[in-house]
């Protein structure tokens, strides 16, 4: 077979089927429908198998991308899954939510002339096939006697837990909420990442022997020091996410009907407020919804609002579409579904009625001035351009600050903004304690958090490996007298494999 060249491969990326926008705003089913077998093979053939492999360097977790694509070309799908599983335990998730255009696909040599190879779509195809076929990749694990604690069952924690479990450690993830998954569960809506996919991928983590204790607020139930000294964990990874949503401090923020995107999405995704009153958690949403911010979280909030029956949904952003931090695909989907974008618009005041309920917004038009510190052109208010419009719900999606709990309850060194300080190897100021993800970087992406979790796992292995065997204090895992109390009576909420959970 002659070598493939830019000229011989299919000039267009294989399209992925999607639900019609008019139809999909009435349901929470997934918007994009994934590749068929034929689609996947077509698209895999577009990979030039170039020797430089820039895509691999573009991947935060270093997936052997040409390797798994070659397996698809060879129709060895199980083999493709094995290649993926070497680097990521969650291909069905990453294939959906990674910003591939900035990573593997952005680096793909094909982009020099054509649309890049649809790497994310291919990854999702294999990830979904693995779930459907029940494939799992459980390496032979030799227990090494080390106990590792992971704080937070989000993307960073899951990635770190999986690597440490594969290395033979006895891994326990502690999660504050009643369900694992972190932002994958409470944040990203089902139409973009179904919770069934999250659960299925998470099952693979449990199959590695990782234990997950839900309803456990580390820092308050026990401290980091107690995790090590009382509960006998040899190393700890902190991946608690960013949390603590920002507000602007403009008048009217305390009105009823103003909420953070985190609250809105948590009510809808984690607590299923859309099914109120069959579910207990309510959501009070008006007909007209304004979302402040234009990142991926803003897109998620707007698209949830549309699905829950909002008639008009506005996106207010003080810069232009070009500066918007959302993925192109998310912006496109939001537009198709009917979101009304108000670029170069900043809110000045939230207006309320006599019942202290939001009744409108007063905004001002902006224009772009000189570049600021972020190298983006600074938005400047246009004098006398303020205007009012009616809305009933205002959702803030302008980012988050660091969650203060770990700082309040430990001696970890934090930076000025309250995020945990780590070195290049994800080590914190406390020996044996590592951190990664949003609690280190501030709000970022799922895949960057997973990359940080994997990098921390490598560092943690080095940390545990350098310990002399005779120094190693391998504790009795039961530790019945930890804390000086009889902990055998302690009930945790052990998260079990789906389907095996007894009905409550």
Partner 1 sequence: MYEILAREEFSESTFLLEVQHPLLAKAANPGQFVIVMVRADGERIPLTIADYSVARGTITLVIQAVGKTTRDMQQNCRVGDMLYALVGPMGIPSHIGEVQKVICVGGGLGVAPVFPQARAFKQRGAYVIGVIGFRSKDLIFWEDKFRDVCDELIICTDDGSAGIQGLVTDGVAQAIESHPDIEEVIAIGPPVMMKFCAETTRPHKIKTMVSLNPIMVDGTGMCGGCRVSVGGEIKFCCVDGPDFDGHQVDFDELMRRLDRFKAEEKQSLERWSRATNCRLQDEEPHTPQ
Binding site for partner 1 (CB under 8 A): 176-178, 186, 214-217, 220-222, 241, 243-245, 247, 249, 253-254, 256, 259-260, 262-263, 266-267, 271-272, 276-282, 284, 356, 403-405, 408, 483, 485-487, 489-491, 493, 504
Name the residue among 424, 442, 444 with its Cα closest to residue 434.
424
Tell me how far, at minimum, the Cβ of 355 lies from partner 1, in Å.
Answer: 8
Tell me how far, at minimum, the Cβ of 156 lies from partner 1, in Å.
Answer: 15
Nearer to partner 1, 262 or 455 (CB): 262
Between CA 334 and CA 306 the distance in angstroms is 9
SS3 at position 357: strand
Nearer to partner 1, 165 or 291 (CB): 291
H or E stretch at 43: helix 37-44
Nearer to partner 1, 176 or 448 (CB): 176
Nearer to partner 1, 86 or 230 (CB): 230
Tell me how far, at minimum, the Cβ of 138 lies from partner 1, in Å.
Answer: 28
Q: Determine how many CB atoms are found less than 10 A away from the CB of residue 354.
A: 6
SS3 at position 459: helix
Nearer to partner 1, 40 or 268 (CB): 268
Name the residue among 77, 225, 257, 72 with its Cα closest to residue 149.
225
Tell me how far, at minimum, the Cβ of 255 lies from partner 1, in Å.
Answer: 8
Tell me how far, at minimum, the Cβ of 36 lies from partner 1, in Å.
Answer: 36
Q: Which residues pair with 397 in a beta bridge?
A: none
For the chain, give the longest Cα–Cα distance. 76
Tell me how far, at minimum, the Cβ of 405 lies from partner 1, in Å.
Answer: 6
Sign of CA dihedral 402, 268, 324, 386: negative
- Start-to-end CA distance of the chain, whole Å, equals 59
Nearer to partner 1, 1 or 504 (CB): 504
- Do residues 298 and 315 touch, judged by C-beta distance below 8 A? yes
Between CA 284 and CA 433 the distance in angstroms is 41
- Do residues 397 and 295 touch, judged by C-beta distance below 8 A? yes
Tell me how far, at minimum, the Cβ of 256 lies from partner 1, in Å.
Answer: 5
Question: Mind giving me the DSSP string for 150-175?
Answer: EE--SHHHHHHHHHHHHTT-EEEEE-
């Amino acid at each position: 077979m002659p070598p493939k060249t830019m000229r011989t491969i299919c000039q267009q990326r294989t399209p992925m089927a999607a639900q019609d926008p008019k139809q999909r705003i009435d349901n929470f089913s997934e918007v994009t429908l994934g590749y068929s077998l034929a689609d996947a093979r077509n698209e895999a053939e577009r990979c030039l198998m170039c020797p430089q492999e820039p895509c691999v360097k573009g991947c935060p977790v270093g997936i052997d991308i040409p390797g798994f694509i070659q397996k698809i070309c060879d129709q060895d799908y199980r083999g493709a899954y094995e290649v993926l599983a070497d680097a990521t335990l969650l291909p069905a998730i990453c294939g959906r939510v990674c910003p591939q255009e900035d990573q593997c696909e952005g680096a793909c040599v094909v982009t020099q002339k054509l649309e890049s190879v649809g790497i994310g779509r291919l990854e999702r195809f294999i990830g979904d096939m693995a779930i459907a076929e029940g494939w799992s990749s459980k390496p032979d694990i030799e227990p090494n006697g080390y106990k590792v604690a992971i704080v937070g069952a989000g993307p960073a924690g899951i990635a770190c837990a999986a690597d440490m479990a594969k290395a033979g450690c006895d891994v326990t993830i502690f999660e504050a909420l009643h369900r694992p998954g972190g932002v994958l569960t409470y944040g990203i809506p089902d139409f973009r990442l179904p919770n069934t996919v999250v659960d299925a991928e998470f099952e693979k983590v449990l199959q590695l022997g990782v234990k997950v204790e839900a309803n456990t607020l580390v820092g308050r139930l026990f401290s980091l020091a107690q995790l090590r000294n009382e509960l006998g964990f040899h190393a700890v990874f902190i991946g608690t996410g960013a949390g603590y949503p920002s507000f602007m401090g403009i008048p009217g923020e305390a009105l009823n009907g103003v909420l953070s995107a985190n609250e809105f999405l948590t009510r809808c995704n984690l607590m299923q407020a859309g099914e109120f009153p069959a579910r207990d958690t309510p959501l009070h949403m008006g007909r007209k919804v304004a979302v402040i911010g234009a990142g991926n979280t803003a897109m998620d909030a707007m698209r949830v609002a549309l699905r829950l029956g909002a008639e008009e949904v506005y996106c207010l952003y003080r810069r232009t579409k070009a500066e918007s931090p959302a993925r192109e695909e998310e912006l496109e989907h939001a537009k198709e579904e009917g979101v009304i974008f108000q670029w170069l618009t900043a809110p000045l005041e939230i207006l309320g009625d006599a019942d202290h309920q939001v009744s409108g917004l007063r905004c001002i038009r902006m224009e772009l001035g000189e570049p600021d510190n972020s190298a983006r052109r600074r938005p400047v208010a246009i004098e006398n351009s303020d205007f009012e419009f009616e809305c009933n719900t205002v959702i803030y999606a302008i980012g988050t600050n660091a969650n203060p709990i770990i700082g309040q309850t430990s001696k970890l060194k934090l930076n000025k903004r309250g995020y945990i300080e780590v070195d290049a190897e994800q080590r914190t100021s406390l020996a044996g304690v590592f951190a990664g993800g949003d609690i280190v970087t501030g709000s970022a992406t799922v895949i960057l958090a997973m990359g940080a979790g994997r990098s921390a796992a490598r560092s943690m292995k080095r940390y545990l490996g350098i310990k002399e065997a005779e120094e190693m204090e391998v504790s009795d895992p039961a530790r019945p007298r930890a804390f000086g109390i009889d902990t055998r009576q302690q009930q945790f909420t052990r998260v079990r494999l789906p389907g095996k959970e007894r009905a409550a």
